[in-house]
Structure 1
Amino acid sequence: MQFLVDFFLTPFNVSFVSRALIAGCLAAILCALIGTWVILRRLTFFGDAMSHGMLPGVATASLLGGNLMFGAAISALIMSAGVVWTSRKSSLSQDVSIGLQFITMLSLGVVIVSHSDSHAVDLTGFLFGDILSVRWKDIFIIAVATALGTLIIFLFHRQFTALTFDERKAHTLRLAPRFTHLLMLALIALATVVSFQVVGTLLVFGLLIGPPATAALLIQHKASISLIMIVASLLGCAEIYLGLLISWHASTAAGATITLLSAIVFFGSLLTKSAISRLNFTA
């Protein structure tokens, strides 16, 4: 019994691991809430592009000795504005606009990083994060962002729902679908900026998409958006805890372990659901 207690709890008696757990759970909750809308509105490509598009801001902040999260925020805002501007000024679809911004920002980030003498190490940190180096100041920022994101989602729940399921009805009801869409893009940017230090710019997409996708898979009634958010939040926190635990005992990269676990949970749930459906059909 003592062995089990030591195995599951001892790592979190270490201060930097306990801070990582708190920061990770806060980021997981924010990503679950916003990621639910990303899944339902089919904005996964934008979420992926945004997670990579932060690289120029993060790289610039690192080279100048500034705050990485602030640099990421600036980069995310520029990319969001670029996507909207390109879509309005051209006849191209939003997916094309997102793709163009994606390759531009990612390439620019790599160019900036290449000016650093230790760019290989820096780039690894940018891409995969360092959750174990999270400070209390970072946790405070993540907590404020999570509270702000939760409040916005609560206040604009009706608008988001209308935009997701019937954009024309949102127009009819004067629910400002264009503003609502911009607000949703801003929330995605908020989630990616806050979470990149936990799992890195490359893997934040997994935290944003994994738990909400699993929750949406498990819950039959997609109209139960609040339930999907709750289940996704619980899954995200559980994956943060287990990911840190596995990383501690197996000496693996914490951010990558968390994201890989998220993918395993999704595909495991998909296989299980498929097997149950087949058994029910056979019976």
Structure 2
Amino acid sequence: MEWLTGPFEVAFVQRALWGGVLVSLVCALAGTWVVLRGMAFLGDAMSHGMLPGVAVASLLGGNLLVGAAVSAAAMALGVTALGRAPRLSHDTGIGLLFVGMLALGVIIVSRSQSFAVDLTGFLFGDVLAVRESDLVHLAVALVIALVVSAVGYRPFVALAFDERKAHTLGLRPRLAHTALLGLLTLAIVASFHVVGTLLVFGLLIAPPATVLPWARRIPSIMVGAACLGTSATFLGLLLPWHLGTAAGATIAAVAVAQFLLSHLAAGLRARLPGPAQPSPTNS
């Protein structure tokens, strides 16, 4: 069993595992609502929309997390503002902000001599370079995500399945949508330094989408997504140790492979005779 446990006897791999587990838990909470609400494109846009803030912070020698948070908040405000514009579809506004923020970030980063290195780190992160301070930040983010998910559970459920009903019930869907954007921003900002923006998007979307065909309740989706994200992290650190592949990319690849296998199995199950499977509910 040395091949299975050996890598995790090394200190930096242990930190990477804990970091990946914490990222998986935060992303399971936020990603479940993103998948149920149909906000995957928004999640992708916001993860890349952080580039200008990260670029400015890098060039000025500032804190990358602060830069990412400022840029992500600006992106969220822009999405909210454009979402209220008449005769403009939600996806159109998100797409324009996505391209604009990404282009601005590349322009800023291109002023740096280390353009390629900075951009690669932004996109793919470095899970094997996780520090103890990163684990503390992720733990704090997890606590905040748990509080937001618990307090906003009923409005989030109503918003995900019927926005008009949420308004009728007095659950303030606009406020719930803003809180959901905040939860998404928290997950992306807290995690990008560990796994990068491309890979955090994978952990944000793939695990909840993998569980979706099999779970009947929203808490079950969250728990299942957390377990799958954790298993993807474990395998994504184990395989590179023996095969020499990139750890962060391997984690994302395992998460996507889980999704493909799950939906293949769900498709086969759907062809078998039996009762229809109900959609997820909050019961």
* TM-score, normalised by the number of residues in structure 1: 0.93
- 1:267 equivalenced with 2:260 (yes/no): yes
1:165 matched residue in structure 2: 161
1:8 counterpart letter in structure 2:
L
2:228 matched residue in structure 1: 235
Superposition map of 1:127-276 within 5 A: 127-219=123-215, 221=216, 224-276=217-269
2:59 counterpart letter in structure 1:
L
Deviation per residue, 1:81-127 (Å, 9 max, x gap): 01111222443121111111100111111111111112111111111
2:43 matched residue in structure 1: 47
2:38 counterpart letter in structure 1:
R
1:93 counterpart letter in structure 2:
S
Whether contact under 8 Å (1:30, 1:191) holds in the other structure is yes
2:277 matched residue in structure 1: none
Residue-pair matches, total = 274
1:238 counterpart letter in structure 2:
S
Mean Cα displacement is larger for which, 58-67 or 253-262? 58-67
> How far is the alpha carbon of 1:205 from its aligned partner?
0.9
Query: 1:278 & 1:77 partners in 2: Cα distance?
Result: 45
Mean Cα displacement is larger for which, 178-187 or 265-274? 265-274
Q: Secondary structure of the equivalent of 1:218?
A: coil
1:7 counterpart letter in structure 2:
W
Superposition map of 1:26-45 within 5 A: 26-45=22-41
Query: 1:90 & 1:171 partners in 2: Cα distance?
Result: 20
| Cα separation, partners in 2 of 1:43 and 1:280, compared to 1, 3 Å | same
The answer to which structure has the higher helix fraction is 1
Q: Secondary structure of the equivalent of 2:271?
A: helix
Deviation per residue, 1:125-154 (Å, 9 max, x gap): 111110111111111011001110111101
Identical positions, percent = 54
Query: 1:14 & 1:81 partners in 2: Cα distance?
Result: 42
> How far is the alpha carbon of 1:183 from its aligned partner?
0.6
1:166 counterpart letter in structure 2:
D
> How far is the alpha carbon of 1:34 from its aligned partner?
0.9
Whether contact under 8 Å (1:55, 1:201) holds in the other structure is no
Give every structure 1 segment of 4 or more consecutive aligned residues whose post-TM-superposition deviation is greater than 6 Å.
Answer: none
Which structure 1 residue ranges, 5 or more long, are not aligned? Answer: none
RMSD: 1.3
> How far is the alpha carbon of 1:218 from its aligned partner?
2.2
Superposition map of 1:82-101 within 5 A: 82-101=78-97
Query: 2:43 & 2:184 partners in 1: Cα distance?
Result: 7
